[in-house]
Amino acid sequence: MGDTNITSLVVSNANDTSVPFSVVSLPGFAGSARRGVGTVETTATTATAAVGTSTPQRPAPVTTRAGRVSAWGLSLLATGASTYALEGIATAAGLLLAASGVLDGMAHGLLVAALALSYVVWAVALRTNLRENHTLLIRTGMSTNVLSKVAHDVAAARSSRPQVLRLASSAGYVASEVVKEVPYYAGAFGATVLTDSVSSAHALVFLIGTNLGAGAYEHGLARLTRLLLARTPTRT
């Protein structure tokens, strides 16, 4: 048969184990075999690279003591500033709406419906802020609501499921916002008892205004948090 070239090919599997085998080929076919090996190696390399790039990088939690202390300190400061800003904007909006006389003369049933609608507006804006606040917690360990951070960290110590963590941070945030509603109702309806110049209709109008003001604040805070996240590099 003349000179026969024996070309050994080595194919590597995904576990880097080499399986040698021999192919008997006539002269002139050795080059084709070598090109085939090159094609196999190139394909394997490309597949490996594709697998590597398709794996998402999850942000790492704050693990150092200094990082945890800093996150808690900033969360407390942000909560204080956020509370003062929210109370100021909501109260001002309620007083402004009540003083404007826009809803004067409206039937009591319509005022109650308008109050319910104002809660819907507030809830929609709050939902946006809950999403941004949770992202802030995941990426930085900080929150604009310290009760949300407490609930998130307690849940994180027991579970790593994203749904559980999101539910915990949202529940803590909403609970604190519901508690903040109490002074508005106490002030609005307390005024109706203390003075005859303030009626229940005035109290309802005031509450409608506070809800609209709170909704505007939550939406603004969500946008501010989003801008902060855009400037904050993701931890890897």
pLDDT in tens, 61-77: 555 777 788 889 999 99
Inform me whether the pLDDT recorded for 228 exceeds 60.
yes
Inform me whether the pLDDT recorded for 34 exceeds 90.
no
Q: Residue 46: is it exposed, middle or buried by C-beta count within 10 angstroms (0-12/13-18/19+)?
A: exposed
User: Tens digit of pLDDT for each residue in 94-119?
Assistant: 999 999 989 988 999 999 999 999 99
> Residue 29 CA to chain centroid, in angstroms?
60
User: Could you give the CA distance from residue 198 to residue 182 in angstroms, rounded to a whole number?
Assistant: 19
User: Could you give the CA distance from residue 180 to residue 165 in angstroms, rounded to a whole number?
Assistant: 23
Q: What is the pLDDT of residue 61?
A: 52
Report which of 161, 160, 152, 116 is spatially closest to residue 133, judged by C-alpha positions. 152
Q: What is the pLDDT of residue 131?
A: 95
Element (H, E) at 104: none
Residue 62 or 213, more confident: 213
- For the chain, how many residues are written? 236
Token pair in block for residue 36: 């085939």
User: Could you give the CA distance from residue 119 to residue 127 in angstroms, rounded to a whole number?
Assistant: 12
Q: What is the pLDDT of residue 62?
A: 54
Please work out, in degrees rounded to the nearest 5, the angle formed at the alpha carbon of residue 154 by the alpha carbons of 150 and 218.
35
Q: For a pLDDT cut of 90, what percent of the chain falls above it?
A: 55
Question: In this predicted structure, which of 18-32, 77-91, 130-144 has the lowest mean pLDDT?
Answer: 18-32
Inform me whether the pLDDT recorded for 89 exceeds 60.
yes
Report which of 82, 62, 59 is spatially closest to residue 225, judged by C-alpha positions. 82
Q: In the predicted model, what is the mean pLDDT of the chain? A: 78
User: Could you give the CA distance from residue 76 to residue 85 in angstroms, rounded to a whole number?
Assistant: 14
Residue 28 or 207, more confident: 207
